Amino acid sequence: MNKDEKSALITELHERLTNASLGVVTEYRGLTVAQMNKLRRELQAVGASYRVSKNTLTRRAIDETAFGKLNDLLRGPTGLVTAAKDPVAVAKILVKFAEQNDKLKISGAVLDGEPLPASSVTALAKLPSREVLLAQLLGLLQAPASQLLRTIQEPGASLVRLLGAIEKSKASAE
């Protein structure tokens, strides 16, 4: 790799990192090319990318970004996963892949500028998806309004039931 190619790679990584909310460092020692390509395709489907580069080039790219905290994790053969949106989906894919292929090890991550150990990435993967969380939030927001509506309607409904009972009792008395 010549100097221009290295510079272009550093620039590309730096741009990805400035637009990303999640960066995960993984150790991929022992994975086959087919396994790596499968992982890349799965990550690409959720808007993430997996990049393998020399650690020195990655260090230069993460310098002056929120992902500078990943510097200590860059030892040995490492790959960098970056994602701009839905970090939960990315974590789910990585954790599932790591469970199926014991050669992939999650070293750590940075989410919105906060460093996360590998155990936190696993915990992040256990969260419900964004859509499920939005549905739960909507249900919580609608619950008070629904309860208020039932409370407001109850006196009228009680009156109608009372009048119906009186009408039945008069009809049976005749």
pLDDT of res. 170 = 87
Contacts of residue 85, defined as CB under 8 A and 6 or more positions apart, other chains included, come to: 21, 47
pLDDT of res. 18 = 83
pLDDT tens for each residue of 106-133? 988 888 888 888 888 888 888 887 788 8
Q: What is the dihedral of CA 5, 57, 50, 115, to 10 degrees?
A: -150
Q: State whether 107 and 29 are in the same domain.
A: yes
Q: State whether 74 and 159 are in the same domain.
A: no
Residue 10 near residue 60 (C-beta atoms within 8 A)? yes
Q: Which DSSP string corresponds to 63-123?
A: TTSGGGGGGGG--SSEEEEEESS-HHHHHHHHHHHHHH-TT-EEEEEEETTEEEEHHHHHH
Q: State whether 70 and 114 are in the same domain.
A: yes
Residue 51 near residue 83 (C-beta atoms within 8 A)? no
pLDDT tens for each residue of 89-112? 889 999 999 898 888 889 888 888
Q: State whether 21 and 82 are in the same domain.
A: yes
Q: How confident is the model at residue 139 (pLDDT cuts 50, 70, 90)?
A: confident
Q: State whether 80 and 160 are in the same domain.
A: no
Domains in the chain: how many in total?
A: 2
What count of Cα atoms within 13 Å lies in the side-chain half-sphere of residue 170? Answer: 6
pLDDT of res. 41 = 92
Q: State whether 65 and 75 are in the same domain.
A: yes
pLDDT tens for each residue of 71-95? 888 888 888 888 888 888 889 999 9
Tell me the torsion sign for CA atoms 145, 150, 153, 154.
negative
Model confidence, pTM: 0.70
What phi-psi label fits residue 116: left (phi over 0), alpha (psi between -120 and 50 degrees) or beta? Answer: beta
Q: State whether 64 and 118 are in the same domain.
A: yes
Domain CATH code at residue 120: 3.30.70.1730
pLDDT tens for each residue of 13-61? 888 888 888 889 998 888 889 999 999 999 899 888 898 888 888 888 8
Q: State whether 9 and 27 are in the same domain.
A: yes
What residue numbers bound the domain in which 161 lies? 129-174
Q: State whether 144 and 66 are in the same domain.
A: no
pLDDT of res. 149 = 81
